[in-house]
Amino acid sequence: MSIRPVSVLVATAALAATLVACAPAPGPSGYTPAPPAAFSAADFGWSVRTGTAGIEGRVAYGRDGQSFACTGSVALTPDTPYTRARFQTLYGSTDQAAIPEAVVRARTVADPNADYRSYVRSTTCQGGRFRFDGLPDGGWFLITPVSAGGDRIVLMRHVVTRAGTTANVTL
């Protein structure tokens, strides 16, 4: 018995169509939510240690000829599988983003079992500058809201810290 080449092509096309139909559909502007990752406090353990690294940052965000200023605190969230999936959903990236606050809030999904916020550090942004000291080595997400007098934009940037060094970051 022989398989006809046309039958193989038809079967391959049918399989491909089925797989595409099962893929998550992108939302507005090509946005596709990240698959959920399970929260595990053990994944955050490294972030509570004291280290010798730091982050020194400044906000210099501008758009359409407007300069944006800090409107509150700067949050520093440990990079874990859970936060990485969450930030991919919220910001559409795990590298950097500038997203209207209303969009971030619309993408937020409550997760009553995840206590990741207890691992988030924060500091005040004064004069467009902020600093974190005593950090352990690792990946972090910096998040801060900014405004030019209208609706707020949330800036997010991934930063990696190394012992004995200070990462200089411009948002």
- Residue 123 has what pLDDT? 97
What's the pTM value of the predicted model, to 2 decimals?
Answer: 0.77
Our CA dihedral for 25, 26, 27, 31, rounded to 10 degrees, sits at 150
| pLDDT score recorded for residue 91 | 94
CB atoms within 10 A of CB 48: 11
CB-based contacts of 12: which residues, under 8 Å, 6+ apart? none
Q: What tokens does 9 get? A: 């092509």
Q: What is the pLDDT of residue 5?
A: 41
Q: What is the mean pLDDT of each run of 10 residues along the chain (171 residues)?
A: 39 33 39 65 95 97 92 95 92 96 87 83 96 98 95 96 97 95
pLDDT of residue 16: 34
Q: What is the pLDDT of residue 122?
A: 97
Q: Max CA-CA distance within the chain?
A: 79
> For residue range 65-93, what is the model confidence (pLDDT) as tens digits?
999 999 889 999 999 999 999 999 999 99
| pLDDT at 69 (0 to 100) | 94
Q: What integer pLDDT is reported at residue 119 of this predicted model?
A: 95
Domain covering 34-170 in this structure, CATH number = 2.60.40.1120
